């Protein structure tokens, strides 16, 4: 019998790697003198269906699911990633992702770790995830998990579960506002704005863009004081192209997104949004 001391952290690590039970993992490590690869072999020799969720694999495919609560006050968007497009298109995988999204929506957990620990049937989401890994034989994980709370939250799933968007607006949900939210969500999916407006862009990004503009202008031979003024104009163009509200509305480019929202309901605007893409 081995005299090697096995810590709870080591047992948990093996469990995360393999999906095997805690006691089985402890016994495997004890019998293998703490050697992880030998412990995995031990489990396999004992007939365990060992999951292959190793960190050396890359999970760049998957699906994105976006959902909102019945009152449209809260929404979630998650990415369940896989290694191959073949698995991502499997209906069982999509159904599992939908169920995880439903649990995330109902439980209102705020982190991937809390979501993994949330009850799912007779186990937890994390345990069910490991069962999927063992069954499918690919690395599968909750790659990203975001939430939005607002007066109205509109979800949108684009392009075969490849992109998910949540739009949070400042007025309660009506049929017209939900329809407007869908339009704006499609805009976000297509145009990839980095923020709602200029005020929402980080100071670091603003400083970086300004520095680039000034350097470009001075390289053209313009004096520093003129470069500063021209850079301000370049920054305004940057905000117009890269933030949501001043962008040209894709369904009617004679209007900005802000103007479109005002035409739907006076004072209507976007409070926040989340955009997640597979592999992003």
Q: Using an 8 Å Cβ cutoff, are 29 and 45 in contact?
A: no
Same domain, 107 and 139: yes
Same domain, 169 and 106: yes
Same domain, 13 and 115: no
Asked whether residue 179 is assigned to any structural domain, the reply reads yes
Q: What angle do CA 133, 135, 137 make, to 5 degrees?
A: 55
**pLDDT for residue 54:** 46
Same domain, 35 and 87: no
Same domain, 150 and 116: yes
Same domain, 272 and 181: yes
Q: Using an 8 Å Cβ cutoff, are 104 and 78 in contact?
A: yes
Residues listed for the chain: 280
**pLDDT for residue 115:** 95
- Look at residue 246 and give its three-state secondary structure: coil
CATH of the domain at 34: 1.10.8.10
**Which structural domain range is residue 90 located in?**
61-196+260-277
Identify the CA nearest to 173 among candidates 260, 267, 74, 71: 71
Asked whether residue 162 is assigned to any structural domain, the reply reads yes
CA dihedral 217, 222, 228, 232 (to 10 degrees): -50
Identify the CA nearest to 278 among candidates 77, 57, 80, 58: 80
Q: Could you give the number of structural domains in the chain?
A: 2
CATH of the domain at 109: 3.30.479.20
Same domain, 31 and 145: no
Give the contacts of 20 (CB within 8 A, at least 6 positions apart): 14, 28, 43, 48, 50, 51
Asked whether residue 21 is assigned to any structural domain, the reply reads yes
**pLDDT for residue 41:** 78
**How many C-beta atoms surround the C-beta of residue 224 within 10 A?**
9
**pLDDT for residue 218:** 84
The label of the residue with tokens 């301000």 reads 232
Q: How far is residue 44's CA from residue 46's CA, in Å, rounded to a whole number?
A: 5
Q: How far is residue 211's CA from residue 213's CA, in Å, rounded to a whole number?
A: 5
Give the sheet arrangement for strand 163-169, strand by strand: 152-158, 163-169, 270-277
Q: Is the pTM of this model over 0.85?
A: no
Same domain, 180 and 71: yes
Q: How many Cα atoms occupy the beta-carbon half-sphere of 16 within 13 Å? A: 12
Same domain, 30 and 144: no
Run means of pLDDT, 10 residues per run, the chain, 280 residues: 75 78 87 86 70 56 97 97 92 96 96 94 91 85 95 95 97 97 97 95 89 84 84 90 95 96 97 92
What distance lies between CA 224 and its chain's CA centroid? 42
Same domain, 24 and 136: no
**pLDDT for residue 55:** 46
**pLDDT for residue 2:** 52
**pLDDT for residue 229:** 86
Q: What would the pLDDT profile of 235-248 be if each residue is shown by its tens digit?
A: 999 999 999 999 99
Q: How far is residue 268's CA from residue 254's CA, in Å, rounded to a whole number?
A: 18
Same domain, 128 and 31: no
Same domain, 143 and 175: yes
Asked whether residue 123 is assigned to any structural domain, the reply reads yes
Q: Using an 8 Å Cβ cutoff, are 130 and 96 in contact?
A: no
């Amino acid at each position: 019998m081995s005299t090697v001391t096995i810590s709870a952290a080591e047992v948990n690590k093996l469990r995360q790697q393999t999906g095997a039970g805690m006691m089985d993992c402890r016994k495997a490590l004890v019998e293998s003198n703490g050697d992880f690869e030998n412990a995995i072999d031990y489990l396999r020799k004992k007939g365990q269906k060992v999951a292959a969720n190793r960190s050396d694999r890359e999970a760049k495919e998957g699906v994105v699911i976006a959902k909102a609560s019945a009152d449209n006050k809260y929404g979630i968007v998650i990415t369940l990633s896989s290694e191959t497009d073949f698995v991502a298109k499997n209906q069982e995988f999509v159904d599992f992702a939908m169920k995880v999204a439903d649990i995330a929506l109902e439980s209102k957990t705020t982190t991937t770790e809390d979501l993994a620990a949330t009850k799912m049937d007779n186990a937890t989401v994390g345990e069910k995830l490991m069962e999927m890994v063992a069954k499918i034989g690919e690395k599968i994980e909750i790659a990203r998990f975001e939430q939005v709370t607002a007066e109205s939250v509109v979800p949108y799933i684009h392009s075969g579960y490849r992109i998910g968007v949540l739009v949070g607006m400042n007025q309660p949900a009506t049929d017209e506002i939900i329809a407007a939210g869908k339009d704006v969500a499609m805009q976000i999916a297509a145009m990839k704005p980095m923020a709602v407006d200029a005020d929402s862009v980080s100071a670091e990004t603003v400083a970086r863009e300004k520095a680039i503009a000034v350097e470009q202008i001075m390289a053209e031979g313009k004096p520093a004081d003129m470069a500063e003024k021209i850079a301000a104009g370049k920054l305004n163009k940057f905000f117009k192209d890269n933030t949501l509200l001043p962008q040209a509305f894709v369904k009617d480019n004679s209007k900005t997104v802000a103007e479109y929202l005002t035409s739907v309901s006076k004072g209507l605007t976007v409070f926040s949004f989340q955009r997640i893409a597979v592999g992003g």
